[in-house]
Structure 1
Amino acid sequence: MGIGSWWHWVLVILVVAVLFGGKGKLSGIMGDAAKGIRAFKDGLKDDDKKDGPHDGVSSLPRTDAEKEELKR
């Protein structure tokens, strides 16, 4: 299990082949990852829109008068 182990060399050759083998493989892989992340973020935004509009104001009553009004 030293530096000359054949497992280490297979792993190094595999990594080099993925990174530098062929035209644009690395950029293609990273582009696919970016598309996946973007789709995930868009999915989260769609879930927020389904919950209803958020104008930054809490829907919880803040004062005692508002609480009493809701009880009626």
Structure 2
Amino acid sequence: MGIFSGWHWVIVLAVVVLVFGTKKIKNLGSDLGESIKGFKNAMSDGEKEGDKANSVPPVPPQQPHNAAPLSQPQTYDAQAHRVDETVKKD
């Protein structure tokens, strides 16, 4: 088992039980179980919604009539100007 043997894990478990107590560990386990159940329910709800969304056919994007085709390059002419004013933040 690498560096730690079975006895090391038994000692670590005993120290954890002594520090936290069995009641807190039990509550931690039940809270963790409820969280996992909630996560699974949310995932299954998401899959059901995903199935509904996939049943509707997607609408293809429409290109405006006056737009240039995508295969032709377009050039925009612009010029940058330096701003000398400094903006003070209060």
Q: TM-score, normalised by structure 1?
A: 0.49
Indicate the structure (1 or 2) with the bigger Cα radius of gyration: 2
Q: In proportion to residue count, which structure has more helix?
A: 1
